[in-house]
């Protein structure tokens, strides 16, 4: 089957934007069209998002980085979220998600969509659950109509991709209940609670065909949520995770048949020695759909430094086939990120993505590293600064020594100067 021929909204985005999008890639238009049609690459972009600059995610396009933003019930300051949105973009994020769960969710989301040209993703079940809790009802007591209504409403607002935990089955949730750390996905746990309370199957799975119709209409890319992702290294690669992955593979196939773009979300917490096996296994079982990973974190005990644990896993994951790195910030597992955390998280993920690009033989990334090394050989600080991932930081750290030829670490003992004459 052919995704584009069934999806006029996507065809419109392709016609209007693909050429511009390809300026940031090193692939031809035909390669892009083939991969979009095959579903191994998606073009994020809802025509209703006014200033959207659509984004390619999946091979053979470059690795991309997403920044999660959004309020919580404890910390709900829309202005701060707008600041974080600006920080994420300035730091180099390729996409953002609004994961707000506190305050006026509709207004926050609309504000972000209006403010950014980056593709914006959401998790619609959060809004559904918030509405219920505001009415003092159980957050899991929604109906399919509630969910569907929210998805349609957000699609109309211009949301570009939505995490929908369609693969959380009754059986998977049962497996997860035996885990060290159960279900750590908020969406996954709300669905599991819904299934448990109502002794039913996942309504997103039961109504998947109808969901596909909605998403096709607006070219909303479904990010098939990993509601059962491992939240502890000890749970990685267990029955719950693979039960969901297997289901997600079937849902990818159905979406492609129906002309709807999908990504697959991946782990989570995965020990270092399992990262490559997990990533290759998931890509294979989900038909090489673009894989969107959260980390993976290679240890459980680094709160405060999870952007680093995530960069280790992310670099290895991306070089093993993951396509889209969701950042982790130094606030992960602890609190909502500050604007500075957002910056640090995006940069850590960009380091991981760049390392993976080099490992995969990406010409542009290799050239950049070569050029900065050549600039170092000449102690050409201007060029080093330009080529660095964070030019302002380089300049700030050089500080009072920025006019000097050697850096303040070595001064006249500079190894390069030592042999330079």
By CB under 8 A, what part of segment 12-71 binds a copy of itself? none
Which residues fall within 8 angstroms of residue 317, CB to CB, at 6 or more apart? 266, 275, 278, 279, 293, 295, 296, 325, 356
Q: Is 200 in the site for a copy of itself (CB under 8 A)?
A: no
DSSP 269: B
Region 353-392 residues binding a copy of itself, contact defined as CB under 8 A:
354-356, 358-360, 366, 368-370, 372-374, 376-377, 384, 387-390
Nearer to a copy of itself, 5 or 374 (CB): 374
Tell which one of 3, 65, 97, 140 touches a copy of itself (CB under 8 A): 140
* Spatial separation of the C-alpha atoms in residues 54 and 7, rounded to whole Å: 16
Alpha carbon separation from 199 to 191, 202, 206 (Å, rounded): 11, 10, 13
Nearer to a copy of itself, 254 or 368 (CB): 368
Q: Confirm if 220 and 159 have CB atoms less than 8 A apart.
A: yes
Q: Is 98 in the site for a copy of itself (CB under 8 A)?
A: no
Nearer to a copy of itself, 5 or 198 (CB): 198
Nearer to a copy of itself, 1 or 418 (CB): 418
Helix and strand element counts for the chain (H, E): 19, 10
Tell which one of 33, 152, 181, 253 touches a copy of itself (CB under 8 A): 181
Tell the residue number behind the tokens 């992702």, with chain if given.
229
Tell which one of 139, 172, 225, 249 touches a copy of itself (CB under 8 A): 139
Region 315-354 residues binding a copy of itself, contact defined as CB under 8 A:
315-316, 319, 330-336, 347-348, 351-352, 354
Listed residue (336, 327, 113) closest to 218, CA to CA: 113
CB crowding 253-282: b at 16 or more within 10 Å, else e: bebbebbbbbbbbbbbbbbeebbeebbebb
Min CB(37)–a copy of itself separation in Å: 30
Compose the 280-309 pattern: x for residues touching a copy of itself by CB under 8 A, - for all others. Answer: ------------------xxxxxxxx-xxx
Tell which one of 39, 54, 102, 295 touches a copy of itself (CB under 8 A): 102
Q: Is 398 in the site for a copy of itself (CB under 8 A)?
A: yes
Three-state secondary-structure class, residue 166: coil
Which residues fall within 8 angstroms of residue 214, CB to CB, at 6 or more apart? 148, 151, 152, 155, 220
Q: Confirm if 416 and 380 have CB atoms less than 8 A apart.
A: no
Tell which one of 20, 26, 114, 411 touches a copy of itself (CB under 8 A): 411
Q: How many chain residues bind a copy of itself (CB under 8 A)?
A: 100
Tell which one of 1, 5, 12, 73 touches a copy of itself (CB under 8 A): 73
Nearer to a copy of itself, 53 or 196 (CB): 196
Where does 159-305 have alpha helices with state H?
A: 170-176, 186-198, 203-206, 208-218, 239-257, 272-285
Tell which one of 22, 131, 394, 405 touches a copy of itself (CB under 8 A): 394
Nearer to a copy of itself, 115 or 414 (CB): 414
Nearer to a copy of itself, 109 or 354 (CB): 354
């Amino acid at each position: 089957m052919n995704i584009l021929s069934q999806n006029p909204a996507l065809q419109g985005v392709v016609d209007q934007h693909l050429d511009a999008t390809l300026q940031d890639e090193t692939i031809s238009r035909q390669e892009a069209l083939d991969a979009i049609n095959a579903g191994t690459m998606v073009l994020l972009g809802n025509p209703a998002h006014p200033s959207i600059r659509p984004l390619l995610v999946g091979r053979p396009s470059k690795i991309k980085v997403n920044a999660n933003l959004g309020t919580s019930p404890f910390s709900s300051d829309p202005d701060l979220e707008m600041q974080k949105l600006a920080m994420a973009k300035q730091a180099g994020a390729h996409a953002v998600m609004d994961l707000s769960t506190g305050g006026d969710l509709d207004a926050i989301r609309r504000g972000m969509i209006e403010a950014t040209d980056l593709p914006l993703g959401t998790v619609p079940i959060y809004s559904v659950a918030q509405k219920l809790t505001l009415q003092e009802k159980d957050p899991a007591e929604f109906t399919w109509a509630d969910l569907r209504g929210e998805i349609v409403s957000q699609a109309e607002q211009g949301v570009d991709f939505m995490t929908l935990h369609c693969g959380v089955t009754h059986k998977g949730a049962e497996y997860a209940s035996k885990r060290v750390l159960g279900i750590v996905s908020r969406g996954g746990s709300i669905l599991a609670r819904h299934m448990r309370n109502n002794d039913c199957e996942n309504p997103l799975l039961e109504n998947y065909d109808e969901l596909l119709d909605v998403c096709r209409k607006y070219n909303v890319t479904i990010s098939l949520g990993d509601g059962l992702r491992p939240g502890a290294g000890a749970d990685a690669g267990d029955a719950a995770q693979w039960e969901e992955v297997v289901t997600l593979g079937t849902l990818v196939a159905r979406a492609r048949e129906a002309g709807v773009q999908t990504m697959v979300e991946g782990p989570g917490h995965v020990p270092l020695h399992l990262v490559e096996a997990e990533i290759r296994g998931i890509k294979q079982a989900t038909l090489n759909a673009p894989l969107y990973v959260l980390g993976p974190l290679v240890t459980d005990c680094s709160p405060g430094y999870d952007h680093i644990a995530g960069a280790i896993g992310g670099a290895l994951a991306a070089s093993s086939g993951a396509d889209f790195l969701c950042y982790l910030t130094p606030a992960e597992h602890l609190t909502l990120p500050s604007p500075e955390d957002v910056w640090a998280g995006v940069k850590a993920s960009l380091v991981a993505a760049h390392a993976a690009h080099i490992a995969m033989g990406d010409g542009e990334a290799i050239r950049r590293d070569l050029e900065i090394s050549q600039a170092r050989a000449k102690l050409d600080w201007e060029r080093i600064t330009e080529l660095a991932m964070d030019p302002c930081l380089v300049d700030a750290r050089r500080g009072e020594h920025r006019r000097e030829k050697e850096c303040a670490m070595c001064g006249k003992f500079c190894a390069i100067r030592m042999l330079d004459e």
